[in-house]
Amino acid sequence: MRLRNLHNIITFFSVTLLASCSVDKFIPEDQYWLKDAHVVSTDNSKVVKTYSLSNYVKQVPNTKVFGMKVPLKMYCLSGTDGSKWYNKMFRKLGEEPVIYDEQSAEQSSKNIVQALVNEGYMKASIDIEKKTNGKRLSLDYKVNTGSKYYIRNVYRETQDEKIREIICGYDTLRSKVYNGAVFNINTLNEERSRIANMLRSMGYYKFTKQDITYTADTTSENTLVDLTIHIKQHLENGRSMPEDHKQYRIGKMRFLLEVTPYDTAYNSLTFRGVDFLYKGKTRHFRRKVLLTNTQLRSGALYNDRYLKNTYTNFTNLPAVSYSNVRLTERPGSDTLDCDITVNRGKLYHTDASLEGTNSAGDLGAAFSVTLQNKNVFHGSEVLTTKVRSAYEAITGLEGYDGHSFLEIGYEARLTFPDFIFPYVRRDWGMLHHASSEISLQYNLQNRPEFNRRVFSAAWRYKWSSQNQSIQHKFDVLEVNYVYMPWISRTFKEQYLDSLGKTNAILKYNYENLLITKMGYTYSYNSMGNRGQTYGQNGYTFKFNIETSGNVLGLATTIVKGYKNSEGQHTFCGIAFAQYVKTDFDYSKSVRIDKNNSVAFHAAGGIAYPYGNSNILPFEKRYFSGGANSVRGWAVRSLGPGKYNGADRHINFINQSGDVKLDFSMEYRTHLFWKVNGAFYIDGGNIWTIREYKDQPGGAFRFESFIEQMAVSYGLGLRMSLDFFVLRFDTGMKAINPAYSGREHFPLYHPDLSRDFAFHFAVGLPF
């Protein structure tokens, strides 16, 4: 059956079913169903969208799914008898009608007006307009903003001489409140917090933002405001006379390791003037590590920012389960004694997992075991070892039916919670949440057509900004050695050496190869450490650049090293890859309301082989299609360009490229319980840099690449569980660059068997 006929039948029955139920039977007498609620501006300004005034509406209409109130319609399928099981089922799956509440509307009006006043519209007002039709009510909040108020003059007053020098001096350059600025209540609150944080980082331990008040003179007839910032003197509890704020210094420091301040039985020692108290014979952490992660110093002024950083540093240490900083004021002095409690957590962690695999229809299973030691050298270093084995039964591979695929992998990774590099201060690493990592991996693959061994070693650094919105990763060196100890005669004759050397890409990726990579990755998340942008107004950006073989290429060129039969320089008899590769990834989420959002995604990359390489290594090539790309195609089945291979046994090699573009737009909505829905449109493709005779039509050309963009559309379900998201996506091809004529536009001529793809994945696509 053609998809169009199926679609028409489903649409007919859906419309008939949804039209047959009415919401009126659930609305009590003399009450109304809140059909719509809108916030509009009387002067057609953009103020409603600019300040997201709809978010201040307390009572919102029923949820819309793809523009229709599907959850409400589901609820309406139930009868009035709530005791019957099928009525309970429909009501649980659906959403009951929203009954209009007068008090909620009035409170919403107050919320909107207050939000506008906070933004500088001091004379803002609002009118509520109701429209009824039977038992249905539509509501309009009509906003009249009035003129925006601005600050004319700023004055700063305090009797504390030291603080006056600060806030009336250089700090005025940092102030968020200045002459000509908008009179914004939110900004004034931010300024209070900024001044308080600044002073608390200069030793003013007892200063709070409640010590700062404002006086605003708005009596003039115009929209200009004279603003005075008042900073009160300190008033200690029980005292009648205020006094100047006191600057405090850190006094005696102690570390309490598995010890409370009230314990009497413990061991102690002194290191660099700091006392360390611990129980038993074992000191679980090196003293230098504890001091490095503590930014407070004896004799230095108290600094609130250093205190917060100290908490963050200890939280980031994997071996620490609990930390606390206790400051005690010495009576009648400006000294704070500091007790830092650090408790060790569970040091060993073991994890085992079993998973089913499905590679191009070949079923199998994989089992992995992971062991972690979180305090290897008593400095919260993490050693992770992982062993993984996988097995697949090979079917459908010509000449190899009944054979199997075996894979065994081992990985060891050692992570240091510091930036270990010459001339880099340790406190810089602590300030930027830096870590250093060494990793070793070995992978054994035994397939019926070949055996493959991959050895990898890497040294890399990671660090981030204070709020973790910016992440950096620098791969100083990553070495990958690919060794092919055995290739079957059938595979070699039929695929690698058939017709001379026709399939250069395939042949290149089944030879011994050395990859020496250096790279850098920059990531930005506008949500900071809040992380997930799903359903929020946020965006993420990621950029990566890597290169390989440059040092070896220069060295072998200078010494005029040996070349193999393919004209490649070798190192220890092994040809090495030489290329440069760069990628970017951008995604943005736009929140419509609490249940609906729209997400946009764009990604691309280009890799260029040069020098010792005419072809990119298989592991570095781009692929398209699948659950995280153009979802109308199965994984690795799209492109390059308009290429359409015929040999399905080795096509996964040819359907790879050097250039990639991906674009997506996804409408996301909450359906019920923990289930969300999505409608999306994807576009993209891959291309090759050079013309390869094994990939006709696959080369990138500026004049034709737009015509070779693939497009698909589809629906998806997401189940948000506690720690992960299960995703089910269905995709349909809309534009297929591999075909011409009628088949080029399957959007108009859909064929379910040819154009449909189903994807199951864990996590969101972007």
Residue 341 confidence (pLDDT): 93
Ranges of CATH 3.10.20.310 domains, the chain:
150-231, 249-344
Residue 248 confidence (pLDDT): 97
- CATH number for the segment(s) 249-344: 3.10.20.310
Residue 533 confidence (pLDDT): 76
| Polymer length in residues for the chain | 766
Residue 400 confidence (pLDDT): 54
| Strand 335-344 with 249-257, pairing | parallel
Phi, psi of 430 (to 5 degrees): -65, -40
| Strand 362-373 with 382-393, pairing | antiparallel
Q: Nearest 5 degrees, angle CA 670-CA 675-CA 679?
A: 60
Residue 569 confidence (pLDDT): 85
One CATH from 2.40.30.110, 3.40.50.2300, 3.10.20.310, 3.40.50.150 for 150-231: 3.10.20.310
Residue 535 confidence (pLDDT): 78
Q: Which residues contact 474 (CB under 8 A, 6 or more apart)?
A: 460, 461, 462, 519, 520, 521
Specify burial of residue 601 (Cβ count, 10 A radius: 0-12, 13-18, 19+). Answer: buried
Residue numbers of the chain with a pLDDT score lower than 70: 1-21, 44, 238-240, 265, 281-283, 356-363, 394-402, 498-504, 506, 529-531, 645-653
Using the structure block, give the residue that is written with the tokens 């230095």: 300
Residue 213 confidence (pLDDT): 95
Q: Which two tokens stand for residue 685?
A: 């493709």
Residue 125 confidence (pLDDT): 92
Distances 39 to 52, 255, 648 between C-alpha atoms, Å: 9, 57, 57
For 526-620, strand residue ranges (E) read: 538-548, 570-571, 574-575, 579-593, 596-609
Residue 398 confidence (pLDDT): 54
pTM over 0.75: yes
Residue 397 confidence (pLDDT): 54
Distances 29 to 81, 129, 145 between C-alpha atoms, Å: 18, 21, 37
Residue 128 confidence (pLDDT): 93
Distances 384 to 350, 462, 474 between C-alpha atoms, Å: 10, 17, 20
Q: Rounded to whole angstroms, how far apart are CA atoms 523 and 741?
A: 42
Q: Which two tokens stand for residue 434?
A: 């830096």
